[in-house]
Every structure is written in structure tokens, then in C-alpha cells.
Chains A and B, each alone.
Chain A
Amino acid sequence: MTALHEAAPPPATSTPLLEARDLTKHFPVHGARRGRAALPRLARAGQPGRPADDGRVVHAVENVSLALDEARVTAVVGESGSGKSTLARLLCRLIKPTAGQLLLDGGAVPRSGRGRREYARQVQMVLQDPFSSLNPVHEVRYHLARPLQVHGLDEPGMSLDEAIARLLERVALTPADQFLRKYPHELSGGQRQRVAIARALAVRPRVLLADEPVSMLDVSIRLGILNLLGDLRDRERLAILYITHDIASARYLADTIVVMYAGQVVESGPARTVTDQPSHPYTQLLLSAAPDPDRAGPAALGGRGAPPSLVRPPTGCRFHPRCPHAMAVCATTSPPGFEASAGHMSACWLQARDLTAAQASPLHPRGTTSGTSPADTSSNDEPGGGDDVSPDTR
């Protein structure tokens, strides 16, 4: 049993490999607002300065800043709907941000076609479901040959087949010729995900965006994929973004953890600091809900309810309706990022030192937090399927 090597923080002067500054993404709502559900909503939406129907947007990602460094794994943790996948797609330039900047090596990313292609070569994505991200009618060889051919990366003196075999070895699918002629359905889930990772590695990227890469896999093979990502960080110095809802796996793999809630970053910092000394009540809630056989007593859930609607997010801190510690100020003013400790940011008013007594008065008198009675819990539950709005994802 050896403790994992804890990577030293990168020198403060270095430029991050990929940096996102205040990224924001709003999806327009194409509201098919018909039927009885539409009427009360329209009435409520008629607030000053807010058009009744058109112009409504889903605030999927709001002012997210993030830096991915060479040879570091950054984990983004959050519930479904927290905007973590949208963030990955923004970083991959699959969708255009509403506002904000992407910097690769400190420079703005060119808009030209050539620039986009070069960006795509450097920043690659691995998707959640290896059952649908591989083409069922093509063999493994085809999946790995295409990126090499498209980007013209076959090295001089090395045949395409040798390059493919090398790729398979890098993801521990050996002997390579056993896998070349296989179709995706002939592979197990873990092997499929390894092929998907090999395909991303084919173009020699420097940044790997992994969107829930192990969620669809069996428990016993998840660690194999996580360890592979760890190896790629250590051996090939890749900058890796690891998106997950499982905070324990983030603690295991990542150097830095970023916690997202309702489209915003609520806490970020060194992985073990965030999980062992969580500062934001939402991180505390996530940790209290995670399965943990080592837990000393019964699990005590730190808050209840469900994430808010992102069409009309709550004013102030987006977590305040669920927060057991909510104060008056939380309902009105969005908290800035406070530094809880070195490199550990927490967007929570509890970290502020100079609040007035009125600002700090508890918002939910004891016993009436939205979470204390089951009836309230359900009224907080937003209808699934995004309350019959269809965000435009194009």
C-alpha cells in the first residue's frame, strides 16, 4: 500500500495549457408553450424587464473560469444539469459560448477553419457511452486509422498499421493484432472505452476532455480506465478534464476538483482539500450523499430538494433555496469567490467576514428549511425533462 504521489502545484508563473475565462452559455428556449402548464408560467414570467415568452434562455453555464495545466487532472463534479457536460462541449468548441474567452497556451483561439482544425487536434474529447460513440459497422482499425489519415499524422518511416498498433499498446489493448479486426460489439465495455481513448490520442492531443468516461462501465473495470487516465497524465503529460458525478473517483484521480452547481462553479481547489475540508454547503451536501461504507454513523444529508430551474435561476446564490445555512444576503446577492485557503476558492457568503447583522440573519428559520419536510422537498423537485422547454443545442 503506497500513498499516491501528490503532484506539486505548477509554478505560479506558468501559463495554463487551456484556459477558460468567464465562459457563459445560454441556450434559447423554443417554448412550445401550450396546454394548461403554459398559462401560470406566462403570468409569472411577466416580471419587469423580462419578456413573457421569447428571449427566454436556459442559463446552462454562467461565468465559469477554469485552467487546465499540463500533466494535471482537473475534475468537474456536479449533479446532472449542473452544466458540466456543456462546459466540456464549450471547451471542445463543439458549441459557441454566449460570452467568455478560450485561451490555448495563453493565446486566443483563431476562428479560421485551419485554426479550428488545429484546435481540434490539440483538444480531444472522450464521451461517456462507448456503446454509442463507436461506429458499429466499422472495425477498431477504421476508428483509429481515420484520425491519423484526416490529420495526416502518419509519421515518416512508420506505416499506418504500426501507428495503430502503437496506439492500442498505449491504452493497454495488447496484443494489438487481436483487436484490429474486431467490431465494437465484440469488445467489452472497458475495451470499447479504451478504443475511444486511443482514437482521441491518435492525433497526439495535449488536452483530453473526458465526459463521465467510466459511468457506463462495470464497477470492476472502472479503475482500469481511471488508472489509464492517470498514466496518460504522468507518462505523456496530458492535461485532462475529468467530468464526473462521483466525487470519490474525483478524489482518487484528480489533482484539482471543481464543483459545479446550476451552471456555476461553487468551489474549487486541490482535490483532497475540497473533499476533506469542503467549504461550500453544496460540496458538503454532495459528500454527505455519496455512498461511503467507512462512514462512522448513519448518513445525515446536508440539505434536500433538487436543483433549480435554469430558465429562471434563483436570485443571489443559486443554492440558497436548498442551503441549510442560507442568510438574508444569499437571497439577494450572488457571492463572489472567497479564498478559503491557499488555492481553495469557495463562492459562499459564509466565508465573508464583514457581513452586517441584517445580512447574516438566517433566511430559513430553524426547522423550515426547504428540506426539513418531505412535502416541501417534492415542491422543490423541478419536473424532469427540463420542464417542457427544449434548449437549442445547435
Chain B
Amino acid sequence: MSVPAGHPLLEVRGLCVDYGAGPDAVHAVIGADLVLHSGEVLGLAGESGSGKSTLAYAVTRLLRAPGMITGGSVGYYPAPGTAVDLLAAQEGTLRVLRWSQISVVMQSAMNALNPVLSIGAQLTDVLHAHRPGMSKAARRARAGELLAMVGITDDRLSSHPHELSGGMRQRVMIAMALALEPQVVIMDEPTTALDVVTQREILEELMELRERLGFAVLFITHDLSLLIEIADAIAVMYAGRLVERAAAKALFRAPRHPYTLGLLSSFPSLHGPRQHLTGIPGSPPDLRRLPPGCVFHPRCSYVMDRCRTDVPALVPPAGRGDREAGTARVAACWLQDGSAPPPPELAAPAPDLAGSTASEPVGSRPAGGTT
């Protein structure tokens, strides 16, 4: 599943986003660090209100007032050696980049498509704007080709959105996002509103297209179990902060942050004996009144005195094997600073990513969170 990661394509450093200004401003994203490599699927997981969509909109500069980017940098590297500072880019530069280089698939295909225009008109509109030299017939042909790519016959070009099922609408959205062969596709909960079977079909198609066209995907979802199956690397957000980032398998088998561990033990398994799961006690914090110290400490079962006052940095965990993984594996937790051995469920040996994982027993999950 894992495609060898290419060069960094999109680099987010210390990104901060506020809603509103002054003392009442809500800090929706605080110091986010992310790197999307070419050809990679990077998952961004988090609950509602964790800032994952805000992060995506800030990166593409699609954020609307009162959302404001208050710090950090976003670099886009279309080819090694060339760099575009997305946060400093003028409207004109952005207009060229958006869609042709970086495109977005919105969550609700129902609202993202124009109800009074046919699918064909909406698909050719993109080409009309970005490929002015293209003839009408060529645009039409390309639109049909795009639909065929996502498994819809081209006689649907004359259909209107209400004549399509939810799954087909989402497929049209994906076709539209790929119309100009972008390098980066940002998907904001693309399959959340769909049935499981349709969701699986669309994900399969997406992964196939990715292999063929080689674009990189930033996949935003609240469904961590889905992400583990499709993503190469996963970043977990909580209350505006990234709390852990690791390769998908490493995150699943050997989580380092208690929140990740809690999320992983919130999904009942389809295998083995039924076990009592506890989920995570409490509910996500109010972003207007964030707790001091680590934002997760009021819900954390490993809480220490230090967590209540000091904010942990997102750094490589001190454990053996994690340091070697370098910056690819980071967690923001005081348990991982090396001063004391972390609890065993947060210190599981990381799986050998290059080697075979087939020897691992199916159904072996991290043990924490279950009683």
C-alpha cells in the first residue's frame, strides 16, 4: 500500500489560525507542522472542532473571515528547487495554483455542486477557465473522459445533480478535482455522508487513480480506522494542536500519545472476543476556554502534575527505536520525554515498516483503554 515517499510537496510550519481578533479570539489551529510528500496519502484525523478543516482551508488560503492566519508558513514545492510561499502569494498566483496544482474535494457533494447546472457544464467550466485554448468539443470530450475515470458513463454529462445518487455526486466531485491533474488533492471528509459500501467503492477508485496519476492526498476524516487502511502517514489533531504524527502502521500498532490510544480503543473490533471498551471519558474542550498545560490533560488517564501547567512540544519520543525514525514520528506528550519509562501500552515496539507485517497476529491491538 505504501508508495515510496517522494520529495516534500507541501510543507506547513508552525501554522496558527484564529477566529476573531483580540482577547476573544478563538485559536482554532496552533502551531501545526505537516509535510506532504509527493505521491503520499497523509491522513489528518480529529474530532469535530479539532481544527482539521480549518487547517486545510488555511493551507489553500480558502479561509473566510473571521478566520485569520496569524503565524507560520506554508511552502509549496511543485518541483525540487522551486518554491511558492502560499501564505504570501497574491490572488493572481493563487488563482493559477488552485485547482491546477492544489484542488479540494469538499465534504458535502450535495452543496458543492450547483443544482441548476448540468454536470457537464460544471466540469467544462473548470477547463474553460484554466485551459483557454481548448475547443468546446475537446472540453466536452475531456469531461466525458473524467466521468469515465470515476466509473460514470458519459451520458450523465447532461444530468443535473439531483438526478444522481450521493455516491455518484461524490464521484463527480472527485472527477472535477482531478480535471486539471493537480499534484495535491485535499479531501475534507469525502465519504462521511455515504453508506459503507459506496464509501469503500469510492476509496478503491481513489487509490487506483492515485497509483495511476501519482497525486498526493491530504485526507481529512474523523474515522481513524478508515485512515489506517488507506493512509501512508497519519497526523492526529486535538483541540487545534497536532498531538501525534507517524506512519499509519506505527500509529496503529504503537501509539505514543494517550489521545491516539483512546481513539484506537474507541472502535469496536470485528474480530476476536468482545471486549469492554471505555472510549475516552469527558468531551472535547471548548476552544474559547482551553485548559492550561496539555489540552488533553482533563481527559487523560495518565495525567501528571506537569501536564496541568506545561504545554508539551511535538517532538520525537525518547523511546528506543523512535529516535531513529527521526522527525517522521513525533508526539506531544510529557510521558515520552525520556525522564521515566512510559506505560507499556504507550511504548509498544514500532512495527518494522519495511519488512513484512504478516507475521503479526490479526487482531492484536494496543491493550490500553480496555478494562
Contact = CB atoms under 8 A, between A and B. Distances in A.
Interface of A: 1-4, 6, 37, 79-80, 188-191, 218-224, 227, 245-249, 251-252, 272, 275-276, 285-296, 298-299, 301, 303-304, 306, 374-375, 377-379, 381-385, 388
Nearest to A373: B151
Given A276-B271, A291-B223, 6 more contacts: A221-B280, A221-B283, A252-B274, A289-B200, A294-B271, A382-B165
Given A294-B365, A296-B358, A227 B228 contact: no
Nearest to A220: B280
A248 B269 contact: yes
11 contacts: A220-B280, A221-B279, A221-B283, A246-B196, A252-B274, A287-B270, A289-B196, A292-B271, A294-B365, A301-B204, A304-B201
Contacts of A219: 47, 222-224, 263, 266-267
Given A223-B278, A291-B223, A301-B197, A383 B164 contact: yes
Interface of B: 1, 47-48, 148, 150-153, 156, 162-169, 171, 195-201, 204-205, 222-226, 228-229, 252, 262-263, 266-271, 273-281, 283-284, 358, 362-363, 365, 367, 370-371
Nearest to B161: A384
A80 B196 CA distance: 10
A294 to B, nearest CB: 5
B270 A292 contact: yes
Contacts of A383: 162-165
Contacts of A287: 270
A50 B246 CA distance: 60
Contacts of B196: 79, 245-246, 286, 289-291
B165 A381 contact: yes
Nearest to A387: B163
Specify which of A248, A272, A291, A385 lies most central, judged by the most chain B CB atoms within 10 Å of its CB.
A291
B153 A1 contact: no
B197 to A, nearest CB: 5
Nearest to A225: B279
Contacts of A378: 151-153, 156, 168, 171
Specify which of B151, B274, B281 lies most central, judged by the most chain A CB atoms within 10 Å of its CB.
B274
A209 B358 CA distance: 42
Nearest to A292: B270
A291 B275 contact: no
Chain B binding site: helix, strand, loop or mixed by DSSP?
loop
Contact of B197 (A37, A286, A298): A286
A200 B299 CA distance: 28
A252 B279 CA distance: 13
Given A306-B165, A384-B165, A218 B48 contact: yes
Contacts of A381: 164-165, 167-168
Given A220-B262, A220-B280, A292 B197 contact: no
Given A190-B283, A219-B224, A306-B167, A295 B229 contact: yes
A168 to B, nearest CB: 16
A123 to B, nearest CB: 27
A227 B150 CA distance: 40
Given A245-B196, A247-B270, A384-B166, A375 B151 contact: yes
A73 to B, nearest CB: 12
A218 B47 contact: yes
Specify which of A2, A191, A220, A292 lies most central, judged by the most chain B CB atoms within 10 Å of its CB.
A220
Nearest to B277: A223
Nearest to B166: A384
Contact of B47 (A80, A220, A275): A220
Specify which of B153, B224, B358 lies most central, judged by the most chain A CB atoms within 10 Å of its CB.
B153
B287 to A, nearest CB: 13
Contacts of B171: 378
Q: Which 4 A-B pairs have the closest CB atoms?
A: A374-B151, A223-B279, A252-B268, A188-B283
A144 to B, nearest CB: 20
Contacts of A384: 162, 164-166, 168-169
A330 B284 CA distance: 50
Given A220-B263, A291-B229, A4 B276 contact: yes
A3 B273 contact: yes
A255 to B, nearest CB: 11
Contacts of B276: 2, 4, 227
A18 to B, nearest CB: 25
Nearest to B1: A298
Contacts of B266: 219-220, 222-223
A79 B197 contact: yes
Contacts of B281: 224
A307 B38 CA distance: 37
A272 B274 CA distance: 9
A382 B205 CA distance: 19
Nearest to A385: B162
A29 to B, nearest CB: 17
Nearest to A302: B197
B225 A249 contact: no
A110 B301 CA distance: 52
Contacts of B363: 294
A188 B49 CA distance: 12
A321 to B, nearest CB: 14
A388 B164 CA distance: 11
Contacts of A304: 197, 201
Contacts of A374: 150-151, 205
Contacts of B367: 1
Contacts of A375: 148, 151, 153
Contacts of B199: 289
Contacts of B152: 378
B163 to A, nearest CB: 5
Contacts of B47: 218-220
Contacts of A289: 196-197, 199-200
